[in-house]
Structure 1
Amino acid sequence: MRLHVGCAMWTHRSWQGRFLPHPLPAHERLRAYAGWCTAVEGNTTFYATPTRETVTSWARQTDPAFRFVLKLPKVVTHERRLAGADEDLRVFLDAIEPLGPRAHALWVQLPASFGHTDVPALARFLRGLPTDHRYAVEVRHPAFFDDARAARTLEGALDAVGAEWVPFDTTAFFRTPPTSDAERDAWSRKPRTPLRSRALTDRPIVRYLGRDDPARTVEGWQPWLDVMVGWLREGRSPTMFVHTPDNADAPDLARRFHDEVRARLPEVEPLPEPIPVGPSTLF
């Protein structure tokens, strides 16, 4: 019984000397992160497709059971809106091939303007994708959350190809006004999407945004504990990504979420032991 947890990135300035050894070469940081978490969001692939050599390094630093949820390039999802980007998609798929089973799901994050009338385009796109990958779709248009018919239409398109609907839970974040610069920045950029906790596949993926105050982040994720325990008991293998506006404590929070689920369900496999972090140095 396995619950994977992770963050939005595998390196962050504030983690050095706290969660990751410091100094540490850039090509070793993913290995150190993988001692804390068992999954990571591949947000950088949205902006640029990495080289195969870079991806080979990612594979070398992680166990085959480690999960990458890799975002499709922006040119495919936002600029071309899933049409006429075959070559960009081919280059991306070729680049990530060295990950093998670590490429847990390819993440189709769609713009907020992509509404229920665009679902046929999404369905065509998904049907044309290689079947040797899993796919996960994140939508932000209000209709998918407010209109039951729109939600059913989307679920039908996803069910037809075994794709998952990825919720981005920002409800705890938007519950009270921001109190830090990072929170104020996130307040203006993050989507205000309602809570959704329905899984379509045996590998659900959740993105959760808390607050910079760890106690408030923990308070906000309480509903997800019951959801995760229920999914695990059903035989599903979920992945939970914990975000905060500054992400300063994200690796520790991700492990804490895993600990809280495991306290309720001891059969869940434990996380790996982090690489020891030595004293911080300026040199």
Structure 2
Amino acid sequence: MRLHVGCAMWSHGSWFERQPPAAERLRRYAEHCTAVEGNTTFYATPARRTAESWAAQLSPDFRFYAKLPRPVTHEHRLGGGAAELAAFLDAMEPLGPSLHALWVQLPPTFGPNDLGALAAFLPALPAGPGIAVEVRHPAFFEDVEQARRLVRVLSAAGAEWVTFDTTTLYAAPPRTPAEHEAWGKKPRLPRRTPALGPHPVVRYHGRDDAEATIAGWAPWLETVAGWLHEGRSPTVFVHTPDNGDALGLARRFHAEVRALVPELEPLPEPEPAHAPTLF
């Protein structure tokens, strides 16, 4: 029984008293968390040797979610970008079993009329890594029939529907510069809790107030515990606007779920000198 937790990045200036060398940052992060959002690949495909370096820092059961390049998902809207996709897949190959899933993050304008493109695109992805799809068009959350159509497309390809829960972020007006920035960038959509497959994915976005973030994830504790009892193995990513507390909060979330599911496998125990001091 495994619950994987992680953050939107693997390096942040406030996480450790002494910043690890660049070549060791992913390894140090993996002492604390068991998954990461590979957001960097959305903005630029790394060199293959960079992925080789990442792979050398990870265990096979670590979950690296690599986002497809922006040209494929946003510029070509899944209808082109074959060269960009091929270069990305070649670069990611060295991650091997640590490449848990390919993350297809779609723009807010990608709606029901685009489902044909998604249905044609997903089966063309390589076998091996899972597929996680994040949609942001309001119709998929507000129209039951459109949600069902999307579920049929995802289920046919064995893909997960990534939930991006920003309800805590938007529960009160922003109070910090980072919260103001997040309000201008993050989607404002209803919370969605159903799981499709064996590896549900949740992006939970809290506040810069750690206690507000903890209080806001309460509905997810029972949901994730239920998934574990059903035999699923979820991944939960914890975001905050400035992400300064995110590493400790991700571990805190895992601990709170484990209090409900004592048989849950514990997280790795990092060296005390390197552990975040928030909790």
Under a length normalisation based on structure 2, what TM-score does the superposition of the two structures give?
Answer: 0.97
Residue 4 (structure 1) aligned with residue 4 (structure 2): yes
Give, in whole Å, the separation in 2 of the partners of 1:221 and 1:89: 35
What is the SS of the residue equivalent to 1:14? coil
How far off its partner does 1:278 sit?
Answer: 6.3
Residue 217 (structure 1) aligned with residue 230 (structure 2): no
What is the SS of the residue equivalent to 1:135? strand
Identity %: 63
| The one of 237, 240, 261 aligned to 1:241 | 237
Give, in whole Å, the separation in 1 of the partners of 2:2 and 2:157: 24
Whether the 8 Å contact between 2:13 and 2:19 is mirrored in structure 1 is: no
Residues 125-165 of structure 1 show CA distances to partners (whole Å, capped at 9, x for unaligned) of 01222222211100000000000011001000000010000
Give, in whole Å, the separation in 2 of the partners of 1:113 and 1:63: 37
Query: What amino acid is aligned across from residue 8 of structure 2 in structure 1?
Result: A
Residues 29-62 of structure 1 show CA distances to partners (whole Å, capped at 9, x for unaligned) of 1111101100000001001011111111111111
Matched with 1:153 is: 149
| The one of 70, 81, 87 aligned to 1:91 | 87
Query: What amino acid is aligned across from residue 14 of structure 1 in structure 2?
Result: S
How far off its partner does 1:228 sit?
Answer: 0.4
Query: What amino acid is aligned across from residue 232 of structure 1 in structure 2?
Result: L
Give, in whole Å, the separation in 2 of the partners of 1:182 and 1:126: 35
Residue 184 (structure 1) aligned with residue 180 (structure 2): yes
Residues 176-232 of structure 1 show CA distances to partners (whole Å, capped at 9, x for unaligned) of 101100001101111001100111110011000000011000000000000000000
Matched with 1:60 is: 56
Residue 40 (structure 1) aligned with residue 36 (structure 2): yes
How far off its partner does 1:276 sit?
Answer: 3.5
| The one of 259, 265, 271 aligned to 1:269 | 265
Give, in whole Å, the separation in 2 of the partners of 1:160 and 1:231: 21
Q: Unmatched 5+ residue regions in structure 1?
A: none
Give, in whole Å, the separation in 2 of the partners of 1:278 and 1:156: 45
Matched with 1:75 is: 71
Residue 251 (structure 1) aligned with residue 247 (structure 2): yes
Matched with 1:15 is: 15
- Counting only pairs closer than 5 Å after superposition, residues 135-154 of structure 1 correspond to structure 2 as 135-154=131-150
What is the SS of the residue equivalent to 2:273? coil
Give, in whole Å, the separation in 1 of the partners of 2:259 and 2:270: 20
Give, in whole Å, the separation in 2 of the partners of 1:46 and 1:151: 25
CA, structure 1 residues 79+226, in 2 after alignment: closer, same or farther (shift >3 Å)? same
- Which is worse superposed, 235-244 or 270-279? 270-279
Give, in whole Å, the separation in 2 of the partners of 1:271 and 1:103: 19
Give, in whole Å, the separation in 2 of the partners of 1:23 and 1:175: 33
RMSD of equivalent CA atoms: 1.1
CA, structure 1 residues 160+16, in 2 after alignment: closer, same or farther (shift >3 Å)? same
How far off its partner does 1:16 sit?
Answer: 3.0
Give, in whole Å, the separation in 1 of the partners of 2:272 and 2:68: 34
Whether the 8 Å contact between 1:32 and 1:275 is mirrored in structure 2 is: no
Q: Where in structure 1 do 4 or more consecutive aligned residues deviate above 2 Å? A: 275-279
Under a length normalisation based on structure 1, what TM-score does the superposition of the two structures give?
Answer: 0.95
Matched with 2:225 is: 229
Whether the 8 Å contact between 1:144 and 1:154 is mirrored in structure 2 is: yes
Whether the 8 Å contact between 1:8 and 1:42 is mirrored in structure 2 is: yes
What is the SS of the residue equivalent to 2:264? coil
Whether the 8 Å contact between 2:48 and 2:91 is mirrored in structure 1 is: yes
How far off its partner does 1:101 sit?
Answer: 1.1
Query: What amino acid is aligned across from residue 119 of structure 1 in structure 2?
Result: L
What is the SS of the residue equivalent to 2:203? strand
Query: What amino acid is aligned across from residue 204 of structure 2 in structure 1?
Result: Y
